[in-house]
Structure 1
Amino acid sequence: MYFASDNSGPVPAQVLHALAKANEGYAMGYGADAEMAEVTKRLRDIFEAPEATVHLVATGTAANSIALATLSQPFETIFCTPTAHIHEDECNAPEFYTGGAKLTLVPGAPGCDDKMTRQALYATIAAEETRGVHGPQRGPVSLTQVTERGTIYSLDELQALSAVTREFGLPLHLDGARFTNAMVALDCTPAEMTWKAGVDALSFGGTKNGLMGVEAVIFFDPKHAREFELRRKRGGHLFSKHRYLSAQMLAYLRDDLWRDNARKANANCAYLAAGLRQAGASFQHEPQANMIFAALPRATHQRLFEAGAAYHLWDGPLEGDLTEQITARFVCDWAISTVQMDQFLALI
């Protein structure tokens, strides 16, 4: 009954087998391994982007921060939502790796602060560069897909936001820690959700979708490749035994494992959401991928935790009025079983 995070689930057998195979003999280091060449080719084919450059790092924080550092200058500001991972959960890593670029928060729609609107983005960007040399200059825009509240930008919404960035001549970064969950939910192609929608750089997540620890940074304009390589090395994120990153990503891309895992996670979430709804839970947002924010009585939470369930309370402590409705976050990964979900729902 583990719904705390999709970071915490097991690694698929195919990935462990690929790591064991990569462990045989010797290979060139620092990304010169044969597996990396195949990873690059496969991602270029998958994204229909033959000129795209592909770079691997071990963490999502490194992927986001070094990508944004490549797209920005220290005297610029990066535009994101108040709930963006780069704002709430990366311990100022973007500011550190950019050498001091600040974050400017773009308000979301009423009742939906995880998604920025075209109007809010335009107004927020326009409000910068009004103080000449004394204020921050306009820098990249970073969107999160799936958002931190489990919602998804539609293709139309992505295109509307990218039209604003193009009007101001700013690059657009997509934090895709749950990229594949969003893609299968929208039933679109990777290209449609990235460069065809105006995205310049993508943090292509693997860890939340089953990998042991690897993320890809993809630049659709190869002009950024050299700077990213230097920043990755300078930032301490260039692996010497790089083949162990490459092997994971290659196994992920073979035989559609990346899509299959995301479909399973989303289906598990839909199953859990249906059970929660039948049990009378109220939802903060309609679940669209593999994350649920739902409220249950505090007494129910206490019973679930006592039985060994794992998830995060979002807007109140475990102790207090037993009848009070407390929102919690439930995240489904690819591996959670129907038996475990049924056990959890039975306790509710």
Structure 2
Amino acid sequence: MYLASDNTGPIHPKVMEALARANTGYVHGYGNDPETEAAKTALRDLFEAPEAEVFLVPGGTAGNALALGTMVPPWQAVYCSGLAHIHVDECNAPEFYTGGAKMVATDPGDMVTPASLQKALGFWNTGDVHQPSGGVLSLTNVTERGNTYTLDEMRALFALAHEHGLSTHLDGARFANACAKLGCTPAEMSWKIGADAVTFGGTKNGCMAVEAVIFFDPDKARGMAFRRMRAGHLMSKHRFLAAQMNAYLAEGLWLELAKKANATCARLVEGLTALGVEVTTRTPANLIYFHLPLRQHEALLASGAVYYHMPEPGDGPDTSVRGRLVCDWNLSFDQIDQFLQKTKAVL
């Protein structure tokens, strides 16, 4: 009943097998190898973007920060939600790699709206030399609160950003889960609705450590290769990143694992709702937030459930406290049912 995060589960056996196969013989380093070329080709095929520039990195923070650093000079801004990972969970890495570009949270929550983006642009993106000019809009799908933007919602936001001269970036740490939720293709959730670049995650969905930064317009990727090297994120034994990605994409494994995680989450939501538990995530894929009194959280955790809850100083035992549950590809329906039985017992 480990529901703390989808980056703490095991690596899928097919990914481990691919790493073992790559661990033979000698090949050139730093991405100059057949495995890496195959991964780039596979990603271009998956995204229906034959001209795209593709860069593999070992983690999502590196992918987001380097992508934004390539797209945004220091005098511009990065527009995002108030809970965006790039804003609150990456230790100022985007600011560092952009050389100090301003982070502008358009909303306090996890989702940007056209109204909030328009308001933020009206305040900051004025052309006044005293304020940041231009920049990039970065959305996260699935969001940090587990919600999933629709294609139309993202299309409208990307179009608004482009109207104001901004580039657009999609943080896709859970890109596969969003695709599975929406029933769309990677192309339909990226360049076809206006994304200029995407960080396509693998680590949270069965890989060991690999993300792909994809620029659909090669001109927007200028400098990325040098930034990756300068940041220490060009792996010398690059074939081991590529081997993971090739296994992840082969025969649609990336989508299969996401569908499995989403299905267990749907069972979780159904069960909690039936028990009368408040689930605050409106359009979940594989991650939800919910509320219970603190004493019930503590009883659940003591019973062996593993997840995060967020009490604040001074909260009493009957205070309603937010908790987070995340389903990864390895969770079974039986494990979900065990968690629901324990939840029923503490209610």
Shorter chain as denominator, the TM-score bin is: over 0.9
What is the distance in 2 between the residues matched to 1:141 and 1:248? 29
Deviation at 1:333, TM superposition (A): 0.3
2:32 match: 32
* CA positional deviation for 1:281: 0.5
Q: Does 1:347 align with 2:346?
A: no
Question: In the alignment, what sits opposite 1:49?
Answer: 49
Please give the alpha-carbon distance, in whole angstroms, between the structure 2 residues aligned to 1:160 and 1:226: 27
Residue of structure 2 equivalent to 1:335: 330
**1:139 is matched with which residue: 109, 112, 135?**
135
- 2:260 aligned to 260, 264, 268, which one? 264
1:193 is aligned to 189
Give the superposition deviation at 1:131: 7.0
1:6 aligned residue: 6
SS of residue matched to 2:329: coil
Q: Which residue number in structure 1 is paired with residue 201 of structure 2?
A: 205
Could you say what secondary structure the match of 2:204 adopts? helix
Are 1:78 and 2:78 matched, yes or no?
Answer: yes
Could you tell me how far apart the structure 2 residues matched to 1:242 and 1:131 are?
42
**SS in structure 2 of the partner of residue 116 of structure 1:** coil
Superposed counterparts of 1:77-226, under 5 Å: 77-107=77-107, 113-130=109-126, 132-226=128-222
Aligned partner of 2:299 in structure 1 is: 303
Q: How big is the alpha-carbon RMSD for the aligned residues of Structure 1 and Structure 2? A: 1.4
In 2, are the aligned partners of 1:210 and 1:261 still within 8 Å (CA)? yes
- Structure 2: how far apart are the matches of 1:226 and 1:35? 23
SS at match of 1:132: coil
State the secondary structure of the residue aligned to 2:55: strand
DSSP-derived class of the 1:241 partner: coil
Q: Which structure 1 residue ranges, 5 or more long, are not aligned?
A: none
> For residue 323 of structure 1, what is the aligned residue in structure 2?
318
1:225 to partner: Cα distance: 3.3
1:93 Cα deviation (Å)?
0.3
**1:322 Cα deviation from its structure 2 partner:** 3.2
CA distance in 2, matches of 1:182, 1:115: 14
The TM-score, its normalising length taken from structure 1, stands at 0.95
The 3-state SS of whatever aligns with 1:54 is strand
Aligned twin of 2:248: 252
Farther-moved stretch of structure 1 (22-31 vs 220-229): 220-229
Contact 2:294–2:311, Cα closer than 8 Å, also in 1: no
Name the CA distance, whole Å, in 2 between partners of 1:279 and 1:27: 56
- The alpha-carbon distance between structure 1 residues 287 and 163, as it changes in their structure 2 partners (threshold 3 A), is closer
Post-superposition offset of 1:130: 3.8
- Aligned partners of 2:124 and 2:132 also within 8 Å: yes
The letter of the residue matching 1:20 is A
1:293 aligns with 2:283: no
Contact preservation (8 Å) 1:303, 1:347: no
Q: Distance in 2 between matches of 1:200 and 1:186?
A: 20
1:235 aligns with 2:231: yes
How far did 1:51 drift?
0.5
Number of residue pairs aligned between Structure 1 and Structure 2: 343
The two structures have a TM-score, normalised by structure 2, of 0.96
Give the counterpart letter for 1:82 in structure 2. G
Q: Runs of 5+ in structure 2 lacking a partner?
A: none
Moved more, 83-92 or 320-329: 320-329
Please state whether the residue corresponding to 1:293 is helix, strand or coil.
strand
| Counterpart code for 1:24 | T
* Distance in 2 between residues matched to 1:119 and 1:320, nearest whole Å: 35
* Percent of pairs with identical residues: 52
Give 1:320 deviation, angstroms.
5.3
Give CA deviations for 1:240-273 in whole Å, capped at 9, x if unaligned: 1000000001000001110011000000101111
Q: Tell me, yes or no, if the aligned pair for 2:148 and 2:283 is still in contact at 8 Å.
A: no
Partner-residue secondary structure (3-state), 1:103: strand
